[in-house]
Structure 1
Amino acid sequence: MSSNNVSDNQANQDAVQEGPNQAGKLTGSVRHGVVPAAGRGTRFLPATKAVPKEMLPIVDRPAIEVVVEEATNAGLDDLLFITAAQKQAIEDHFDAAPDLELALRESNKTKLLESIERYKHYTRIHSIRQGHPQGLGHAVYQAHNHVGNNPFAVLLPDDLMHPEDPVLQKMIAVREQLGGSVVALLEVTPQQATAYGSAAVTNIPLASNGLDNVEGLSEGDVFRLDKIVEKPPIDEVLSEYASVGRFVLDPKVFEILETLPPGRGGEIQLTDSFQRLIETPENQGGGVTGVVIRGRRFDTGDKLGYLEALVQMGLEHEELGADFRAFLKGLDL
């Protein structure tokens, strides 16, 4: 599937290689994005029995659209969904609906028409099937033919980032300055760290590394990753920082994922590939940097996190926010 009248074959032809990997850097900006969206959404059953979890609404648009908008605002011009059976609704949402568009146009329902035509202004979208799911690392590896020897972003759709902190844009800027790979870091408690990739880190000063002009970065926002472990027991948590939801990766990761053995849970873990990247020399595409998330993040793969996103986005909704706020204030809590 491909929206904006760009076929997957055209996209593969257009995926021009951005130069050889030298000192962990590639020429050109990060153009490609990958969105793993093949999960079953079992934590949201029965709601997700027939509806992809990525299509659950955040007020009046599906959660996946918020992620696509973020990718577009970050400057990505090619986005690949890794999907599975029963996920056709995701592809349909970012495609034309001629009959509906015509009906709205003839009824002069301009705002509604604009809302379903937003796909025209988003980055180009394509999709492939993961097949038999074998973990997040396996899902990301499915993008290797599409992305080629280019750096790329990975956006996990369960993580919604509030636009007040354009963390992906900052991560791309850090990658372009330092090379290697970049992960988003979240400050967590030791108990929370057991659910993520726990990272041992060393602070990277901004000025001496050419990062002082990156908009939105402050001292203490950027770290070198020295070690990372997927979902450690609480007594093996490495620090107060965990990797979550947004990654900008050197294509070296595809070579690693190709032969990476299953890890925790018998699945190919993307976090395990980060440890391999940490151990890889910088001139071979290695090295991993972390950028701390300073804005609001919502874990919409969790029921409580999803409710928090609904409330927060509802309060900020242009049309409904004021009335919704008044409603909440009137509740007898």
Structure 2
Amino acid sequence: MKKITHAVIPVAGFGTRMLPLSKAVPKELLPLGNRPAIHYVVEEAIAAGIKHIVLVGHAQKSAIENYFDINAELDNQLRHKGKDELADSLNWLPKDVTISMIRQGQALGLGHAVLAARPIIGEHDFAVLLPDVVLDPFTTDLQSDNLAFMLNEFTQNGYSQILVDKVADEEVSKYGIAKLSADTNFEDITTDITTVNASFKVAGFVEKPSLADAPSRLAVVGRYVFSNRIFDYLANTKASVGGEIQLTDAIDALISQQGVEVTTMLGNSYDAGDMQSYMQAFIYFAQQQL
């Protein structure tokens, strides 16, 4: 299989968990230290080898696209004042990386947002990175290594990949939890997952189960690598709760037809779309940049 070079980042959400901060400023542009949260997500994608990133947004999210564009007037002013180093730091995207933006139109859920990228992604297989989830970029290269491992696994065996992380018992009910295939023993795979990535077949996912009903302790983190076939499943997925097209429904179809694997995550992640976790992340990121 060809190396995956395309990624989708859905940025159309209103960020209701971050109100009132997100009323005027897109949640993706709220700072973690001295950079907006989405900066780290895009860096992660690029470090893993992604060359074309598609942002799926709406009319009120143009500031995100502007962030990754070159502001010629600002660039000229900074260089006129002899601040070439600062100007260079603002125009940091590699020349071989393209960022496009397409509008979702109607807010019909995550699955619909991913489907909206199809006109740009075309026939390519691709990754999806949720901007609410920021992986720790300060622990060696773990931030990009997770996605790079997933991309390589897909290239090697053709199975779509979903990143998961082991969570505490009291956290299980907050996440989608992986149900591993019948021939995988969860206890056998948890001993080394903090030191090395590993991929395992998944039978499905249970959304926010009680601890008693949880099939494992492996929670979906917010990184995916998909076969292009996911677009066909999304196009045929009927709206469910809240009139939204759920990505998980299309994943279930992908599991039954092609098979899907979960990849265990290395390092730490932060939920930048939740106020408490965001504040903890801000302090941590700021401390690393002092």
TM normalised by structure 2 equals: 0.89
> Which residue matches 1:170?
149
The 5 Å alignment of 1:46-195 reads 46-121=20-95, 123-163=97-137, 164=139, 165=142, 166-195=145-174
Who is 1:209 aligned against? none
Q: Is the 8 A contact 1:228 1:274 kept in 2?
A: no
- Pick from 228, 232, 246: which aligns with 1:269? 246
- State how far apart, in whole Å, the 2-side matches of 1:297 and 1:86 are: 27
Residues 223 and 291, structure 1, Cα contact 8 Å, conserved in 2? yes
Instruction: Give the 3-state SS of the residue equivalent to 1:243 in structure 2.
Output: strand
Secondary structure, counterpart of 1:254 in structure 2: helix
**Residue of structure 2 aligned with 1:255, choices 207, 227, 232:** 232
**DSSP 3-state at the match of 1:272:** helix
Q: For residue 296 of structure 1, what is the aligned residue in structure 2? A: 268
Higher radius of gyration, 1 or 2: 1
Task: Report the alpha carbon displacement of residue 186 of structure 1 after superposing the two structures with TM.
Answer: 1.3
Q: Distance in 2 between matches of 1:180 and 1:223?
A: 10
Structure 1 residue ranges without an equivalent (≥5): 1-26, 206-215, 281-285, 321-333
Match of 1:228 among 182, 198, 205: 205
Question: 1:240: Cα distance to partner?
Answer: 0.6
Q: Distance in 2 between matches of 1:276 and 1:44?
A: 33
The CA distance in 2 between the partners of 1:297 and 1:186, in whole Å, is 9
Post-superposition offset of 1:193: 2.7
Relative contact order, CA 8 A, sep 6+: which one is greater? 2
Q: Distance in 2 between matches of 1:81 and 1:122?
A: 17
CA contact (8 A) 1:68 1:122 kept: no
**Cα distance, 1:53 vs. partner?**
0.6
Displacement after TM superposition at 1:229 (Å): 2.5
Secondary structure of residue in 2 paired with 1:236: coil
Letter of the 1:115 partner, please give it: S
Q: What residue identity is the alignment partner of 1:258?
A: A
> Distance between the aligned counterparts of 2:232 and 2:38, measured in 1?
28
Residue 196 of structure 1 deviates from its aligned partner by 2.2
Match of 1:15 in 2: none
Deviations 1:222-254 (A, max 9, x none): 211012123334443221112221000001111
Counterpart of 1:238 in structure 2 is 215
SS at match of 1:118: coil
Check conservation: 2:111, 2:234, Cα contact below 8 A.
Answer: yes
Aligned residues: 276
Give the TM-score, by structure 1 length. 0.78
Instruction: State the Cα distance separating 1:149 from its structure 2 match.
Output: 2.0
Could you say which residue in structure 1 is the equivalent of 2:190?
none
The answer to whether the 8 A contact 2:172-2:208 is kept is yes
- Letter of the structure 2 residue corresponding to residue 289 of structure 1: E
Shift of 1:264: 4.0
Is 2:272–2:278's contact at 8 Å kept on the other side of the alignment? yes
1:152 to partner: Cα distance? 0.2
Distance 2:205 2:148 in 1: 23
Cα deviation for residue 270 of structure 1 reads 0.9
Q: Does residue 1:313 correspond to 2:285, yes or no?
A: yes
RMSD of the alignment, in Å? 2.0
Q: Secondary structure at the match of 2:59?
A: coil
Q: Measure, in 1, the Cα distance between the counterparts of 2:282 and 2:179.
A: 33
